[in-house]
Structure 1
Amino acid sequence: MRRLLLDTRPLHVSPAYRRLWWGLGLAQIGTMVTQVAVSLEIYEQTSSTFAVGILGIAALVPLVVLGLYGGALADAFDRRTVALVSGVVMISATVGLVVQAALQLEQPWVLYLLVAIQSAGSAVNVPTRMSIIPRLVGRDLLPAANALGTLTGSLGLTVGPLLGAVLAASVGYAATYALDVVLFGFALYALLRLPAMPPGTPIAAAPGLPAAGPGSDDVAAVLPADPTAADGEPAPRRQAGFAAVWEGLQFLRTRPNLRTTFVLDIIAMVTAMPRVMFPAVGAVILGGGETTTGGLTAAIAIGSVLASALSGGLGRVRRQGVAIVVAIVAFGVCAVGFGLSLMAAGRTSPSSLLVPVAIVAGLFLVGAGAADAVSAVFRQTVMQSATPDHLLGRLQGVFIVVVAGGPRLGDLVLGSAATRFGEASAAVGGGIVCILAVLAVAFGQRGFLRYDARHPTP
């Protein structure tokens, strides 16, 4: 049984990683608390769903625009410093939310501006801290570390929205945002305790190595900085402008295995992520309204939590390309099953929840969440293992852009398909397209199917 449960070795071999894991896990809950509270505050001020939707644009645009550049900063400067500075930007925006709520400004544009600033900080912070992880745990424990990260992210998605809604209704917006400030403080503390991570610091091949020197005695896998990059080649000259971003994109263009991980994720999110259908499903198919919508959303997060909790065997998987393909095909199969369950229910606008059908639909979404979590663990691991360290920040930036933009593009595609053909048909058709497209890409990139974690090649 221990071989099936979550592999917690990264937490034991690297106290620095353990602090970062706890800090980021608490910060993730705070982020979701704020995300829900801002949506509620905007709606309270405007009584407009469209105004709430603009929040997504305010957050997405800085994330996409600065995601690539944030990765370039992580590669050009000390990653600890970049993560700290961008983290201060994020927490400052949250403090701004506290102040505007306490002063009862009731100006939607202030909320949009603060959300955009917070997202801009996140665009730099997220790829930077993700590129720190290999230096803390070594390549051998990356699958376990990524599974641990997926677990905390999924728990944040499960607990944060509920907590945010309850707090906003009971103690008000200012106190709710203040909780996010406190929780994010744990992440800043964990980043502050990290050793310096200048460009050229090599990644250890395995955890449990000797200490890196004064001030970093608790970091198991960080070695002293030297003038070579992680792949043994001389570290390139520091740069953080457009040329650096272009270098990262050119590297990705010529590395089929890395490129395939991004393509497969885009396929899954654009064709088969059914979340945009949930409000209509709750209103006219399964019944239950907003409660059903929340339950279906939670089902995906529950699947991700379960997959993370039972991820002990992922670290022993060597054919990680095959594992990604299998996981995304399973995601498509679950989308098809979800759509078929909706077809069985019909479009009847029931006065109460159709419990049996809702359970079946929810179980398929749990499966989809689990498959997506497994895919995410291996996609992240392939990228972190097969990318030279001096380019890892920029590739993490691309990863953030894809992860942020793919689901939103999927909302547009599947929302249009549901309007034209109905939610059930859109879900079934999207799942089938996902399966066929993934298999076509996989068999067109046979090298990806042969990818071996023991010999990572980009």
Structure 2
Amino acid sequence: MTVPGSEGPTRELGTGPDTPTRELRTGPDAPTRELRTGPDARTRSLATGAGGRTRSLATVIRGTFADTRPLRVPAYRRLWLAGIVTVIGAQLSVVAVPTQIYELTGSSAYVGLTGLFGLVPLIVFGLWGGAIADVMDRRVLLLLTGSGIATTSLALWVVAASGIGNIWVILTLFSVQSAMLAMNQPTRNAVIPRLIPAEQLPAANALNMTVFQAGAVAGPLLAGVLIPVVGLPTLYLLDAIALLATLWATWRLPPVPPQRTDVTAPGSVGIRGVVAGFRYVGMQKVLLVSFLIDMVAMGFGMPRAVFPEMSEKVFGDPPGGGIALGALFAAIPFGMVVAGLFSGWLQRVQRQGVAVTLAICLWGAAIAMFGLTGSLWLAVLFLAIGGAGDMVSSVYRSSMLQTVATDEMRGRMQGVFVVVVAGGPRIADMWHGPAAAGLGPGPAATLGGVAVVVAALAVVARFPAFWRYRGPVDRRGQAG
């Protein structure tokens, strides 16, 4: 075999039974790499010295930890850094809403209503917002919807601080905020492939999710500490202030107008555009299964509606929440953060369909074990293990979507993705609340975890193309 280029004239490979060495010369004065292959071979020498061993160790370390190459893109880096602040504030509200409702009612069934009031706007505005993102400048849409999220957080602060509202006012404001979020998230996710090369999308998604989940760890823990000190209403105000960071990063983005290359994907913001999106999902089986399997994982398995009751009745928190409440909310994202920090290996996995299936089964098994324990620290451990599985699944499913879908369909596909990702937990809220009231919070969680494993395997068996899916290859020779 001849190696292109004048600097590498020969490659010799002995193949006979008496040939003891393999030799590769990389230049006229280059050192020899020698590998003994005979039955008496005892040594392998590489003439690179300590510097070569150091480089090899550095390569292994870089391959283990998160791939940070996407951060070299200034626009992406600004969004990522702003997200560190914003997600902490967002998680303060995630804790505040169910906690405030449980304080007002003393019932997990009422907490479960957040699922209904969040799910309907997520479905409607997630799909509609995705269609809008395919026909207008995505930067402008991000600014409008980001401002809407901040405004509703301020309104929740006013209601909670003044005491003039009731549970229905809180749920209504929460519903409006969910609508803004449903339009914001698909737009943001559709922007990323315009900033980052396709083979780096798993790395970019891992970085995004690591930051988001780090905030999801810090936010609930901070909420558990702040509620007794500054009061629950202040959490909403802090959320609104934190959103200013993302609005600044979005303002600094270049214009992101839609790209039109496929005349079969009409750019309509009405029913026709939404229907075209669903038709596209039906034609792309890998995307269809990625949505179905996540709906299974979250719709059956997410146990957050039982956290307020478990923290008080099982783990001994005072009424209104405390350390146990914060630990339960933080455990899943903590596991995702740990998985994200050591996500370098994700870039090398090409059998992404297999990886998603196994990761979701790990999630379901961990949630089932969580429901069986009466120890806070074991509960946190099982939730963290489940979070690690969810991280792997989320990275690959996001990359599948951004790779398989064309740009003129990415907004709508991201709209469906947000409906599934955010809607699944709300479906879980809707049945976990009543199930916890009837069976107890632990058995309700265990039932959901077992259902995840069974249903996920059934979905993949029905659509084997997903199991066989392979991702694009990284330019460095690694699987993306």
The two structures have a TM-score, normalised by structure 2, of 0.76
Q: Distance in 1 between matches of 2:155 and 2:304?
A: 31
What residue is the counterpart of 2:151 in the other structure? 92
Q: Distance in 2 between matches of 1:41 and 1:144?
A: 37
Q: Distance in 2 between matches of 1:262 and 1:422?
A: 30
What residue is the counterpart of 2:71 in the other structure? 11
Q: 1:374 aligns with which of 392, 405, 421?
A: 392
Q: Distance in 1 between matches of 2:121 and 2:221?
A: 26
Shift of 1:41: 5.7
Write out per-residue CA displacement over residues 340-389 of structure 1, whole angstroms, 9 at most, x where no aligned residue.
x53xx6xxxxxxxxxxx443343222111100111111111111111111
What residue is the counterpart of 1:73 in the other structure? 132
- State percent identity of aligned pairs: 41
What residue is the counterpart of 1:352 in the other structure? none
Q: Distance in 2 between matches of 1:95 and 1:107?
A: 14
The two structures have a TM-score, normalised by structure 1, of 0.80
Q: 1:183 aligns with which of 233, 242, 249?
A: 242
What residue is the counterpart of 2:337 in the other structure? 305
Q: Supply the AA of the counterpart residue of 1:327.
A: A
Shift of 1:312: 1.1
Distance 1:43 1:443, change over 3 A: closer
Contact 1:143 1:315 in 2 (8 A): yes
Q: Return the index of the structure with the highest Cα Rg.
A: 2
What residue is the counterpart of 1:163 in the other structure? 222
What residue is the counterpart of 1:331 in the other structure? 363
**Secondary structure of residue in 1 paired with 2:164:** coil
The 10-residue stretch of structure 1 (186-195 or 296-305) with the greater mean CA deviation from structure 2: 296-305
Contact 2:213 2:336 in 1 (8 A): yes
Contact 2:112 2:431 in 1 (8 A): no
Distance 1:300 1:234, change over 3 A: same
Contact 2:99 2:308 in 1 (8 A): no
Q: Give the unaligned 5+ runs of structure 1.
A: 201-227, 346-356
Q: Distance in 2 between matches of 1:421 and 1:58?
A: 24
Contact 1:37 1:165 in 2 (8 A): no
Shift of 1:330: 1.4
Distance 1:358 1:167, change over 3 A: closer
Write out per-residue CA displacement over residues 408-431 of structure 1, whole angstroms, 9 at most, x where no aligned residue.
222444555556666555555543
C-alpha RMSD of the superposition: 3.0
Q: Distance in 2 between matches of 1:96 and 1:281?
A: 29
Contact 2:221 2:327 in 1 (8 A): no
Count of residue pairs the alignment pairs up? 409
What residue is the counterpart of 1:196 in the other structure? 255
Q: Give the unaligned 5+ runs of structure 2.
A: 1-60, 475-480
Contact 1:77 1:238 in 2 (8 A): no
Q: Distance in 1 between matches of 2:265 and 2:296?
A: 34
Contact 1:33 1:165 in 2 (8 A): no
Contact 1:199 1:235 in 2 (8 A): no
Q: Distance in 2 between matches of 1:277 and 1:43?
A: 11
Q: Distance in 1 between matches of 2:461 and 2:274?
A: 30
Shift of 1:259: 0.6
Q: Does residue 120 in structure 1 map to residue 152 in structure 2?
A: no
Q: Distance in 2 between matches of 1:410 and 1:55?
A: 11
The 10-residue stretch of structure 1 (52-61 or 367-376) with the greater mean CA deviation from structure 2: 52-61
Q: Supply the AA of the counterpart residue of 1:313.
A: W
Q: Does residue 258 in structure 1 map to residue 287 in structure 2?
A: yes
What residue is the counterpart of 2:164 in the other structure? 106
Q: Does residue 392 in structure 1 map to residue 410 in structure 2?
A: yes
